[in-house]
Structure 1
């Protein structure tokens, strides 16, 4: 039995997505920050990459008075840091570190990594170098802060997220054995690659050799750092049972703890303003659709959407379009449906013709050219979404009851068309659809139900499995979440199931809609960070106990 009474005095947590909004890990950390800050009171310190510039400073507020003594010490060690607070609920202390100065030392760092941990960096390409130099710099931040401010009586945890933090975790493991290390893989790099390369992941998971597949898919370096980090840290974790199995098979390492992703409902508008914000979001979405399509869409239009990273197969964007195509051919659909695809593509610029229509405030009875997309893309003829819509002959014709609109940009409030943030938009939906094939957890459905929007997901997502566990069987839409069974090979069944679920939902009575929304809200409350944070403290205790035993062995 482990000593679960062990609690950290300080927690350092690093990620490429600290003050850098890229994907779901930003949401994990930024929504969890308040819960940890309430418990740790400025003894939780986030470490992120420093890019400088106005975009990052939307998320970060520098404070020249914070840690002034250590700031000088860091500067004397040629460690370039900015210290301040993350602009999220809880306002946790955050250190942004400049990693560019370490590029000239790259080869020496990789040699050290090979000699101590047999990490193969020879096959590195793309973002491997960038992530590794950041990770190394983050490790130096922990080392410097510890040496100047902490001591043997302090229980310290260093928590890294994803393979991008592996090098720093191994550095701290080597240089500061008294610091407990914790590693969370949110998705194995090789598992995501297998799925993204159209290979069947689940039926053959038991048979795949992770090292062999890394060679086949040119993923040796990322897989190597991830695997060695998993093996050498004090506590190895992931976010769901489905990914825990992936780690066991592909990294040959059992996780110590599963850390499900929670949510902080301070992001959700208070009841007094919720209805007004929902009405505003619906109006904006329908105004954009009406201007693009050249027809006035009434408030009884069913607004559905999918969102997330542009992983066409993994996130189920392909089967979402397939389902909308089948719904379009359904002759018994009694409502108009506008289906948004909110995934950031290679966006060029917002459409001027659409901006002009929206600015005019007029109604139009003719569609714009290419009434499928809100922003021009750099490669219009090589885009998976647009290509698939064209293949299915889906062109948002006037007589079509189902219209599909591609929003290929980050919804940060400044996209030039919607000009509202994702959280301000999501509550305007009637139904959200996330039919993922590869989804270690699934933040988008959790966010949807937190904003009282029922959603559809699959049992290949960690969140879908969790929803089923709460129900004690397959969760249905009236429960707030419809969980569809998905395998490597039942794509057509999934598309049909989505189509039927949307058609059924379009016929829900007001009381049924109200019940589904209330159940979605209630389910989201079971996934608050206040409910899930206990798993983190279990992981911290495991790591701290292992570090204590290691230090005792060194004496």
Structure 2
């Protein structure tokens, strides 16, 4: 007989990215909220940093009535400045934003307590460590205060902390409110990301690396310490993919208890005629910008390829993508024009005025603008890795080139001054996307791509790519996702793999492409939260069982 899983009555989740759009964790939390809210109506609380003093946060709507008595008590009796409201996302879950500034005056005492209790080494802290830790501690204090004021021992409560930035709060909760079951989720190990980002081979040597030693070498001791100690002490340690679990096992000396794969909701994907007209408008925008920048007349037969995400030149595979485009430009088998967009926020200065003038003009242009690779000026043009690599590859974006590359170095929020469309409203205009990551614990960008029925090329070093490979008969270009094998040393083979896949795609008929796009959407359906939420229930059960054992000892 199957054991019935223990289910919490209340769930608290803390992250730096609650009501604070920074990266992939925001997507994890904000898309999953609706599924949790449906099952735990208003018993799910997200805790985030209150970073909006004196300004309005468009993602947060404050409430005067939600837990008003506790809020007053927390603010006045416990010097815990909190605001309570709702997150403006599907499901509208309750959010507690905490101002962590008051805790900086207690920083040394907090760090001493963490060292004495859990051997967390904060001595080598620098950069964002202090800020993250003070927020994390404040979040733990919020849970303690809320529990003492509103709940009883009969309530089963889970506290889930995301990333090293909230580890200290999880340890504090375990110490101060042992009744609460703790879960820690690492979305990428700080050491793994650092090894990869520092151009050291991560995968072939993974078993030979010592996490503590590498933390010392890479000046990451404090972040690694909080991450490792939290992983070892919480009631349930989780990560997001098999590939990251290998890192946890080797670098943190602790495999995950449960793997929580990242799902998503497709409620932001337009349907039917809306999708068709948005795709048409997106393509028109991209071709319009390209033609004005390049002085060309590229038409709708052009294959539009894109990549996007964080500006991690090697980790996200931007380098190998550029290499593949250079090779593609010299490939005699390519018969169509290819227009590649790299949408990666960089140190942007301002939109190009010369391009803005051309975009406003009805005129057609036959000459390219100066530096015809970029839509916005950067503060550090001479040091930019993308522009430098394009130059070293000898790419020129000349009218005779079959492959042209455009770098859009800003957040696509609809107001960038050139594209003036939001990211998702441009994504669906692409024919093919490329995410050849070297380091990618999960990989939301290729998942979002297939959700918008844009077939994608990724690698088996991305959690998403590895997961697609596990799906029966649902990988390969024909099925919307081409997963290339990637290792520490096969850069050139990956570049050729991308080149060949784009060429192959360019030869497909309209009907074949229609079928590929349909299949891409099917892959995305397998990753909806309604399928992946079951892993969370397993984690809740593990945490609650271990918390009970911990208290009984």
TM exceeding 0.5: yes
Q: Residue 57 of structure 1 aligns to a residue in which SS?
A: coil
Report the equivalent of 2:443.
442
Q: Is the 1:20–1:56 Cα contact (8 Å) retained in structure 2?
A: no
* Contact 2:263–2:527 (Cα < 8 Å) also in 1: yes
After TM superposition, give the deviation of residue 296 of structure 1 in Å: 2.3
Partner of 1:22: 22
In structure 2, what is the equivalent of residue 230 of structure 1? 231
Check whether the contact 1:323–1:496 (CA below 8 A) recurs between aligned residues. Answer: yes
- Which residue of the partner structure matches residue 106 of structure 1? 107
Within 1, Cα distance between the matches of 2:12 and 2:110? 22
The CA distance in 1 between the partners of 2:55 and 2:443, in whole Å, is 26
Provide the C-alpha distance between the structure 1 equivalents of 2:435 and 2:53, rounded to a whole number of angstroms. Answer: 33
CA distance in 2, matches of 1:40, 1:362: 58
Counterpart in the other structure of 2:197:
196
CA distance in 1, matches of 2:171, 2:415: 39
Compute the displacement of 1:55 (Å). Answer: 7.9
Mean CA deviation greater in 529-538 or 41-50: 41-50
- Look up the match of 1:460: 461
Q: 1:508 to 1:26 in 2, by over 3 A?
A: same
Which residue of structure 2 aligns with residue 49 of structure 1? Answer: 49
Aligned to 1:149: 150
**Is structure 2 residue 406 aligned with structure 1 residue 419?**
no
Q: Is the 8 A contact 2:327 2:499 kept in 1?
A: yes
Alpha carbons 1:2, 1:545 under 8 Å: kept: no
1:487 corresponding residue in structure 2: 487
Matches of 1:35 and 1:419 in 2, distance apart?
Answer: 32
Q: Does 1:525 align with 2:525?
A: yes
Could you state the TM-score of these two structures normalised by the residue count of structure 1?
0.97
Displacement of 1:335 = 1.2
1:398 to 2:404 alignment: no
| 8 Å Cα contact 2:183-2:237 kept in structure 1 | yes
Please list, as runs of the form range in 1=range in 2, the aligned pairs for 1:355-394 lying within 5 A after superposition: 355-394=356-395
Shift, 1:53, TM fit: 5.9
Residue equivalent to 1:324: 325
Measure how far apart 1:286 and its partner are.
1.4
**Offset of residue 359 of structure 1:** 2.3
Partner of 1:343: 344
Structure 1, gaps ≥5 residues long: none
Partner of 1:40 in structure 2? 40
In structure 2, what is the Cα distance between the partners aligned to 1:4 and 1:269? 39
Shift of 1:162: 0.4
Counterpart CA distance in 2 for 1:406 and 1:420 is 15
The answer as to whether partners of 1:4 and 1:538 remain within 8 angstroms in 2 is no
CA contact (8 A) 1:3 1:542 kept: no
Conserved? CA contact 1:412–1:421, under 8 Å? yes
Q: CA deviation at 1:343?
A: 1.0
Q: Which residues in structure 2 correspond to 1:228-307 (within 5 Å)?
A: 228-307=229-308
**How far does the alpha carbon of each residue in 1:47-73 deviate from its partner, in whole angstroms, 9 at most, with x for none?**
111110698712222222222222211
Determine if contact 2:238/2:258 at 8 Å carries over to the other structure.
yes
Q: CA-to-partner distance for each residue in 1:17-41, whole Å, 9 max, x for gaps?
A: 1111111111111111111111111
**RMSD (CA atoms):** 1.5
Give how far 1:271 is off.
Answer: 2.0
Per-residue CA distance 1:298-342 (angstroms, 9 max, x = gap): 111111111111110000000000001111111332111110111
Q: 2:511 corresponds to which residue?
A: 511
Contact 2:373/2:397, CA 8 A, preserved across alignment:
yes
Give 1:361 deviation, angstroms: 4.0
Q: Distance in 2 between matches of 1:304 and 1:533?
A: 32
Return the TM-score normalized by structure 2.
0.98
Instruction: Give the equivalent residue in structure 2 for 1:95.
Output: 96
Measure, in 1, the Cα distance between the counterparts of 2:46 and 2:230. Answer: 20
Structure 2 unaligned regions, length at least 5: none
Q: Report the CA distance between 1:472 and its aligned residue.
A: 5.7
For the 8 Å contact 1:350–1:416, the answer to whether it is kept is: yes
Q: Retained in 1: the 8 A contact 2:5–2:538?
A: no
> C-alpha distance in 2, partners of 1:31/1:543?
23
Whole-Å Cα distance in 1 between the matches of residues 56 and 343 of structure 2?
22
Conserved 8 A contact 1:3-1:541:
no
SS of 2:208 mapped into structure 1: coil
